[in-house]
Structure 1
């Protein structure tokens, strides 16, 4: 077994700019999205379970359950996405995002979060147009017959929330680690 000198010792891994384990200090508590996700998932499970029971015992199903389930899944996905970006749990290529010098990691994080911000700002704007169209043309849902904008209004709201959360993440990354002076 060859002897390794101190100079040949492997370098310690560099910590990522945003640690995935700890929640960052945010102005609006992440518990809002956490509890929203819990409530939505519980509601979705109850609705689905009731529909299964009704089908089993009556060979009928509630027509409205699919419509409500799709709506709940969309809002649930957006709430989960919001906290995923803040907690740095979103999908990314870790070999690119977490390797290299801290400066390189910061640049990669700024680029990635900038792209996310651009996407969700665009999604907010386009989904507002969708909601306005559904409102103006008085579209109704097929199963229940309620205005479809009642469902669609949550897409721009949640996309705007993700945009704001991502903007906060960008600000934290740009400021750098606590206690380090910016050059």
Structure 2
């Protein structure tokens, strides 16, 4: 057996497994692109704030406010795709171990609890946004109505609820 020659001109191909998305009606690319755009905007805002702070000893107060909002959007969109792609945080020994029947039962319990959580989050965050609208709360840095930010939480939580409901539906349609 010969060892690889480091001075060889042949390129070394990295062994990266191809990730295949599960079958979904609405493509996961939507959340992927939203996540990429939000991350790029966050990077630009943060970079601009660092440059201004370094050159003028001042800070853009609005950057923190918008960054917090964008981080919530990023968390929700990336969380939706992570759950559908089965890349969420879990104890793999517990979740992936045991018989297929046990794994299916655990998946049913998990999907049901996560669905219940996000439906509850949708309802409660919608009530919060409505309260902010009714009370006329404004943000401290920019002074815009806070419901402009908080109205997206129920929208995104509802989107995750639909993703999880689709996963639960597919799991229930599979033979046991």
Instruction: Determine if the TM-score, normalized by the shorter chain, exceeds 0.5.
Output: yes
Corresponding residue of 1:30: 28
Corresponding residue of 1:127: 125
Structure 1 unaligned blocks of 5 or more: 1-20, 177-181
Corresponding residue of 1:139: 137
After TM superposition, give the deviation of residue 66 of structure 1 in Å: 0.3
Deviations 1:52-103 (A, max 9, x none): 0000111101110000000000000000101011001111121221111111
Q: Which residue of 81, 92, 96 maps to 1:83?
A: 81
Deviations 1:122-173 (A, max 9, x none): 0000000000000000000000000000000110011001100001111111
Q: How does 1:22-171 map to 2 (within 5 A)?
A: 22-171=20-169
TM-score (norm 1): 0.84
Q: 2:151 & 2:93 partners in 1: Cα distance?
A: 38
After TM superposition, give the deviation of residue 175 of structure 1 in Å: 1.8
Q: 1:22 & 1:175 partners in 2: Cα distance?
A: 21
Q: 1:159 & 1:75 partners in 2: Cα distance?
A: 10
TM-score (norm 2): 0.87
Structure 2 unaligned blocks of 5 or more: 1-18
Q: 2:113 & 2:20 partners in 1: Cα distance?
A: 23
Aligned residue pair count: 159
After TM superposition, give the deviation of residue 22 of structure 1 in Å: 2.6
| Greater RCO (CA < 8 Å, at least 6 residues apart) | 1
Corresponding residue of 1:4: none
